[in-house]
Amino acid sequence: MIQALSGDRSGEHLKASIGKTIKSVKLEESTLRIEFRDGTYLSAHDEGQSCCETRYMRTDDDLDKFTGATLTGIRIRTADNVKHEYEEHEVQFLDVETSLGVFTMSNHNEHNGYYGGFAVQLSSGRVGPNRWWEATR
């Protein structure tokens, strides 16, 4: 679970968030943001952008449904790549496990075949004034 996440401190951020009660879950500009009732947050974003790539995050799940749940884990799953004549489309799933079930984020990377892969990193911190996210990386 933690080993599949990138970044030096992603595992620390996740461990510190396990067991916390979710106040809100949002997908904003390809970043998943989970705010907890204790005034902290956990965010996930693919930090691996290289030349000639398009990276984005999506979900088909109703994130509002997970308000009040307890975060129990996060895991990464890979999917088969789709290859076109001059382009590849990679997908990696981020499963967020809660006491109310799992919601899935799909990370996408469209590229020319030379670049590729994913670098999903977690960060955490306190939610500051005016809902500003004060990151701890």
102-116 pLDDT, tens digit per residue, is: 999 998 887 766 666
- Counted residue by residue, the chain has a size of 137
pLDDT band at 120 (very low <50, low <70, confident <90, very high): confident
| Structural domain harbouring 6 | 2-136
Give the chain's domain count. 1
Start-to-end CA distance of the chain, whole Å, equals: 19
Beta bridge partners of 26: 33
Q: CA 97 to CA 17: how far, in whole Å?
A: 12
Q: CA 67 to CA 71: how far, in whole Å?
A: 10
Q: Note the pLDDT of residue 51.
A: 66
52-71 pLDDT, tens digit per residue, is: 667 788 999 999 999 999 99
- Check pLDDT > 60 for residue 136: no
The answer to whether the CB of 98 falls within 8 A of the CB of 22 is yes
pTM: 0.82
